[in-house]
């Protein structure tokens, strides 16, 4: 009789354990799907991708990456989604430089085209045309996703830029500085003339969706386009890279600060006061460190909860 009770008790414990593990797995999977299916999750993964591409980038790697196979067929690109960002995370992307707009807290790796598997937009900003040269006498056209108000990721804050703000791009040999001349929010996708060259003019064009105000501009129906002129070129030494916030992990000051960049003759090429606009500063819940901490805490609490339940089944029965 006692043996039967023990066998029944053991069977109950085993089934209770299976039930706890199964329900725990379903709960964890559900939370994971909700997170990665949300704007926060997409933004988090894209920022992770960008950090990975930025951290490993060197001058030699950037030079090699320029020669890699890529696509410039915009018709094959898709809107950002959980599936697209998680898929892109499994595919390598090869940066050719970096871009920064300190006034609106934009810092991204830069890629040639959309990638051989259209993965580059899920990593950062891309060049749109194969025959345009950074700093050259052409219209250097770049594009990036608008991820929503979850970032800042990619070009989320471009609509906060003003004429006069500086755009820094680098191939890690030189830094090219462009000053924003105009910014428009109601450009239709068919208005491709914004990508045209202007004779003998060195300029830049940044393009993203105007989904920051869907009631006014619709969802994916209009583009935010910022254009600027080249005003300076300098060596990409450590001093200039740090001050222009073009390093792997840029240090951006929350306070107003002076930026003095020097050319090859140590003359001041750029001398500008910069302060990140209040509405471009990430909230605490948008901070990557905060999100990582929350994820770690959630995992610890989840494991402890499952562990405690199993102890209750097997030890404190």
Residue 228 near residue 181, CB atoms below 8 Å = yes
Determine the average pLDDT of the residues in 190-215: 94
Residue 255 near residue 237, CB atoms below 8 Å = no
Over the chain, what is the mean pLDDT? Answer: 88
**Backbone Cα Rg of the chain:** 24
Cα gap 163→107, rounded to integer Å:
18
**128 catalytic residue (yes or no):** no
Residue 157 near residue 102, CB atoms below 8 Å = no
pLDDT computed for residue 254 by the predictor: 60
Cα gap 116→127, rounded to integer Å:
13
pLDDT computed for residue 2 by the predictor: 57
pLDDT digits (tens, 9 = 90+) for 22-50: 999 999 999 988 887 777 788 888 888 88
Catalytic residue among 209, 222, 257, 267: 209
Residue 250 near residue 233, CB atoms below 8 Å = no
pLDDT computed for residue 80 by the predictor: 76
Determine the average pLDDT of the residues in 227-232: 96
Residue with tokens 């208005």: 191
* pLDDT surpassing 70 at residue 151: no
Taking residue 184's Cβ as centre, other Cβ atoms within 10 Å add up to 14
> Which fold does the domain 9-314 belong to in CATH?
Sortase; Chain: A; (2.40.260)
* pLDDT surpassing 90 at residue 83: no
pLDDT digits (tens, 9 = 90+) for 261-294: 876 555 556 777 777 787 777 776 667 778 888 8
* pLDDT surpassing 90 at residue 149: no
Give the residue among 147, 158, 110, 99 at the shortest CA–CA distance from 280.
Answer: 158
Taking residue 117's Cβ as centre, other Cβ atoms within 10 Å add up to 15
Position 188 confidence tier, pLDDT thresholds 50, 70, 90: very high
* Among the ranges given (3-7, 35-39, 111-115, 281-285), the one the predictor scored with the smallest mean pLDDT: 3-7
pLDDT computed for residue 66 by the predictor: 96
pLDDT computed for residue 4 by the predictor: 61
Catalytic residue among 107, 145, 159, 222: 145
Taking residue 210's Cβ as centre, other Cβ atoms within 10 Å add up to 23
pLDDT computed for residue 58 by the predictor: 95
Determine the average pLDDT of the residues in 108-135: 95
**209 catalytic residue (yes or no):** yes
């Amino acid at each position: 009789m006692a043996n039967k009770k023990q066998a029944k008790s053991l069977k109950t414990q085993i089934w209770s354990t299976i039930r706890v593990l199964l329900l725990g797995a379903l709960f964890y999977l559900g939370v994971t799907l909700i997170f990665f299916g949300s704007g926060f999750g997409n933004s988090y993964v894209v920022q992770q991708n960008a950090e990975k591409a930025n951290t490993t980038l060197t001058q030699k790697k950037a030079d090699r990456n320029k020669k890699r196979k890529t696509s410039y067929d915009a018709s094959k690109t898709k809107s950002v989604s959980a599936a697209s960002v998680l898929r892109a995370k499994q595919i390598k992307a090869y940066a050719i430089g970096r871009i920064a707009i300190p006034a609106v807290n934009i810092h991204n790796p830069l890629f040639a085209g959309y990638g051989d598997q259209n993965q580059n937009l899920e990593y950062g900003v891309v060049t749109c045309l194969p025959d345009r040269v950074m700093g050259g006498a052409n219209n250097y056209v770049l594009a990036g996703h608008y991820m929503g108000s979850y970032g800042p990721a990619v070009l989320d804050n471009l609509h906060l830029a003003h004429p006069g703000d500086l755009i820094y791009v680098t191939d890690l040999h030189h830094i090219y500085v462009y000053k924003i001349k105009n910014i428009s929010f109601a450009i239709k996708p068919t208005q491709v003339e914004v990508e045209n060259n202007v004779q003998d003019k060195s300029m830049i064009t940044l393009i993203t969706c105007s989904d920051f105000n869907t009631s006014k501009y619709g969802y994916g129906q209009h583009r935010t386009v910022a254009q600027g002129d080249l005003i300076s070129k300098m060596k990409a030494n450590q001093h200039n890279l740090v001050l222009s916030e073009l390093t792997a992990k840029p240090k951006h000051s929350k306070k107003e600060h002076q930026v003095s960049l020097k050319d090859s003759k140590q003359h001041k090429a750029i001398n500008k006061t910069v302060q990140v606009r209040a509405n471009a500063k990430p909230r605490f819940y948008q901070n990557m460190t905060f999100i990582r901490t929350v994820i770690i805490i959630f995992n610890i609490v989840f494991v402890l909860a499952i562990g405690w339940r199993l102890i209750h089944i097997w030890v404190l029965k």
